[in-house]
Amino acid sequence: MQVPTHNTRGGAVLAGLGGWLPPRVVDNHELSRRLDTSDEWIRTRTGITARHVVAPGMSTVDMAVEAGRRALDSAGADGERVDAVVLATSTPDHVCPASAPQVASRLGLAGAAAFDVNAVCSGFVYALATAAGLLACGAARRVLVVGADAFTTLLDPGDRSTVPIFGDGAGAVVLRSGRPDEPGALGPFDLHSDGELADLLIVPAGGSRQKVSDQPSDHYLTMRGPAVFRHATARMAESSRAVLAEAGWTAADVDRCVGHQANIRILTATAKNLGLSADALVVNIGHTGNTSAASIPLAMVDGVLDGTLKDGDRVLVTAFGAGLTWGSTVLRWPELRCVPL
């Protein structure tokens, strides 16, 4: 599905940015003491040296509130009157109710529309498109979009194929109504899915199809890594080409690419597939791991802080996740301020 950037009511403009990571850091050496792995094995295959992990009692909502507060502060006056909160997550605090209303309430936004979006690692791009739709139809003038996941809670602690990859965290942006041609305006969007491949990344139990299971492994994420790699690199490149064409850009026009931080090899393979230089990639997976729906906004925060993302940069955003889901968008980077993670 391709969603055009122009509409009768204006565009969705990036006005604030924030992120938050749990204090506890688990590095590769700690993992190698309890798993059949090593720092070298993890680094060379994923690009990850450490990841942040939620402490007992800490939840997705807790992280989302911290990131949301920072994004609202970054937005200044635009963060004072938010009409809606869209939370991208696949690890809500509860199966029912949604977590977004709790985030809104704790941020002092009680009464705002609030709901969750679950497209797993593509969730943030899907949530941006959803928020842009709210702005386009006039249902909101300002929207807080949060990507937050406590993904380590879905992992088998003894699984060396998943534990080294994932971390926890939250990132958020404030979107406001604005002109489609001004700095920070998002769009067009390109969104897709393929449910026939849902079993490539899946937690079998816990939902309505299989609420509980006597097999503990049914409650943990299973991942068919090689197949995921093939589909991720192909689909992100395919979606990126489509959204660039819709925007009237070519790969040569792209200054920076903020891709879902799944694996450094996926990022570099996607860039190569698109004809982009590896230097165009905004990468922070080394110290965060794969934070699912939080990975893109967290990479944006680090990109601003280290100067990788600069005012006026033409930025491609692309993601791939379980479902399967994938999607992309573009924007010209605006002037933003944010605090360190």
Known catalytic residues are 121, 260, 290
CB atoms within 10 A of CB 231: 18
Q: Is 118 within 8 Å of 130 (Cβ atoms)?
A: no
Q: Is 279 within 8 Å of 307 (Cβ atoms)?
A: no
Distance CA 203, CA 186 (A): 32
Q: What is the DSSP letter of 166?
A: B
**SS3 of 93-139:** CCCCCCCHHHHHHHCCCCCCEEEEECCHHHHHHHHHHHHHHHHHCCC
Q: Is 163 within 8 Å of 157 (Cβ atoms)?
A: yes
Contacting residues for 251 by C-beta, under 8 A, at least 6 apart: 241, 244, 274, 275, 276
**Distances from the Cα of 23 to the Cα of 26, 250, 278, 309, angstroms:** 10, 40, 30, 25
State the alpha helices, DSSP H only, in 1-59. 28-32, 39-46
Side chain identity at 221, as an amino acid letter? L
Compute φ and ψ for 87, nearest 5 degrees.
Answer: -110, 115
How many residues can be counted in the chain?
341
Q: Is 188 within 8 Å of 4 (Cβ atoms)?
A: yes
